[in-house]
Structure 1
Amino acid sequence: MPEAYERHLVPVFFRPFAADLAARAAALRPRTVLELAAGTGALTSALLIAVPTASVVASDLNEAMVTAGSVREPRADWRQADAQELPFEDGGFDLVLCQFGVMFFPDRPAAYAEVRRVLAPQGRFLFNSWGPLASHGFGAAFQTALEQSMPGSAPSFVKDVPHGYCDPAVVAADLTSAGLTLAAAEEVTLEGVAESAASVATGFLTGTPVSAALQDREDAQALRAAVTQRMTDRLGTGRVTAPMTATVYTAHK
């Protein structure tokens, strides 16, 4: 999964927003940074370029992601860590960053409370989350293709998890319950560029938990082909582009 994620999804979805978050982080001039849910290091690399003097700890719950990320971006200190039980001292970081990871936390207020604990007194928590599925051209095309190919039994992961935490009022309430104050919430729309619709389909089908719903089915290969063709029909052949919307949040103690 990390290889497919890095190959097909990171360049299209995550690098554009990594550049955005890294620029915002650089404006804060942090000295010590903790990244949560770092994945394979898209934001990590952008951050180390934008703030080369910062000490960066990149963490992820998934050991395979940590292994892949540490190879890809060895300049960071990589740690396997649960965001709800961070193995770091109180007040140790000027900045905590998280790119498209908070949606996966089972208990977000608990994770935010841990962020508050490890933040220095004047520290900041900077993170983003995807908007509604309809605001993501690639994600909407994939989910539609999946539902057309698997009527009544299509996995809802993309809709429910990556795009299921998109209400700023809910995010603000979760932050408040953890003792953090939401300072800003800004909607950002960027353009994703993919080598093909087929590449994006492959990323979703093999680089996300959707893969688990298909792997044991006898018709898995046919379903993957059908989803890929429907995505291509919708997005076009060759190089494809689509708008992607997220909300960027800044919080503090």
Structure 2
Amino acid sequence: MSSTDKVFAGSIPKLYDEYLVPMIFSVYAEDIARRVAARSPSTLLEIAAGTGAVTRAVAAALPRGVRYVATDLNEPMLAVAAQRQKDDDRITWRQADGMALPFGDAEFDVVCCQFGVMFFPDRVKAYSEVQRVLKPDGTFVFNVWDRIENNVVAHEATIALGKMFPDDPPRFMIRTPHGYHDKALIRSDLERAGFRDIAIETRAEISHAPSADHAATALCQGTPLRNEIEARDASKLQAATDLVAEALRASHGSGACDGKIQAIVIEARR
């Protein structure tokens, strides 16, 4: 993982929340919310909450008496999430590293995480922390993106950027968001951390963007892919975004830019 892969700063959090969340994250947030609500937790921890896509969906599905702690490593992302839900007194917002959770043993009924574990340098250590803070028989509910070839718009954007930077193509999307999709490895990592009763399934959906420009802005400027583009040539950020938009229009037309997305959803019991 590159040192810039976990940097969600500057204008990235706002663009991420405005462009990327409705495009690819909301539909999976609703799925996570259903799974969490089915467990009827009284205490819930979310790690890698980002700008709160899952937090909003889960909070809407749970009763008033729930204690809900939402955490993220990146304070700028968490600030956006907290602002979006500033009137919900059930939720405590806390900056935290998923590999060193600042909570006691057996505090939570459920821990959830949407598209976050791919960013952990040591996933077994992170899973061990989740296992530690879960109550006996508690459940860890999370998801990861499947391989990039099964996520059409991200794949097309990566190919387009490779043409702009042929000698050093940006690899963020392949390396990190879509870099942890081996189900056998996921199961093995969870078992090494002490989890049991592990259920893993593939879930395909459709991403929705009102235009190719929207989708290109979401990916090139609302994710750490922006950091990679700017590291190669900061003056080319808009040109790179325009190039990706042009490639997406060629594939999806001049109207809405929709495409297949695919994730892997995991539920594991302590």
TM-score w.r.t. the length of structure 1 is 0.96
Q: How does 1:115-130 map to 2 (within 5 A)?
A: 115-130=130-145
Match of 1:235 in 2: 252
Aligned to 1:153: 168
Give 2:118's match in structure 1, choosing from 97, 103, 109. Answer: 103
Name the structure 1 match of 2:13: 2
Secondary structure at the aligned position of 2:258 is classed as strand
Candidates 175, 192, 206, aligned match of 1:191:
206
Aligned equivalents of 2:54, 2:253: Cα separation in 1? 29
| 1:182–1:249 CA contact under 8 A, matched in 2 | no
Tell me the equivalent position of 1:84: 99
TM-score by length of 2: 0.90
RMSD over aligned CA atoms reads: 1.2
Residue 104 of structure 1: CA displacement? 0.4
The aligned residue for residue 78 of structure 2 is: 66
SS of the aligned residue for 2:208 comes to strand
- Say which is worse superposed, 39-48 or 233-242, in terms of deviation: 233-242
Instruction: State how far apart, in whole Å, the 2-side matches of 1:227 and 1:46 are.
Output: 30
Give the Cα–Cα distance (whole angstroms) in 1 for the partners of residues 26 and 136 of structure 2: 30
Q: Report the CA distance between 1:81 and its aligned residue.
A: 0.3
In structure 1, the partner of 2:189 is 174
Q: Moved runs in structure 1, 4+ residues, more than 3 A?
A: 218-221
Which amino acid counterpart does residue 72 of structure 1 have in structure 2? R
Distance 1:57 1:67 in 2: 14
Cα displacement string for residues 223-243 of structure 1 (whole angstroms, at most 9, x for unaligned residues): 332222112212221212111
CA distance in 2, matches of 1:60, 1:239: 32
Does residue 211 of the first structure (1) align with residue 226 of the second (2)? yes
For the 8 Å contact 2:124–2:192, the answer to whether it is kept is: yes
In structure 2, C-alpha distance between the alignment counterparts of 1:236 and 1:188, rounded to whole Å: 26
- Single out whichever of 158-167 and 189-198 deviates more from structure 2: 189-198
Deviation at 1:118, TM superposition (A): 0.3
Q: Give the drift of 1:182.
A: 4.5
Unaligned runs of 5+ in 1: none
Q: Distance in 2 between matches of 1:223 and 1:187?
A: 32
Cα deviations by residue, 1:121-140 (Å, 9 ceiling, x for unpaired): 12100000010101112211
Question: What is the DSSP-based 3-state SS (H/G/I as helix, E as strand, rest coil) of the residue aligned with 1:86?
Answer: coil
Query: Any idea what the Cα deviations from partners look like across 1:151-181, whole Å, max 9, x if unmatched?
Result: 2322100011000000110001111111112
SS of match in other structure, 1:215: helix
Given the superposition, is the C-alpha separation of residues 117 and 44 from structure 1 closer, same or farther in structure 2, using an over 3 Å criterion? same
Q: Is the 8 A contact 2:204 2:262 kept in 1?
A: yes
Counterparts of 1:42-57 in structure 2, within 5 Å, are: 42-53=53-64, 54-57=66-69
More divergent stretch after superposition (56-65 vs 46-55): 46-55
Q: What CA distance in whole angstroms lies between the structure 2 residues aligned with 1:6 and 1:247?
A: 22
Match of 2:50 among 39, 63, 73: 39
Deviation larger for 104-113 or 196-205: 196-205
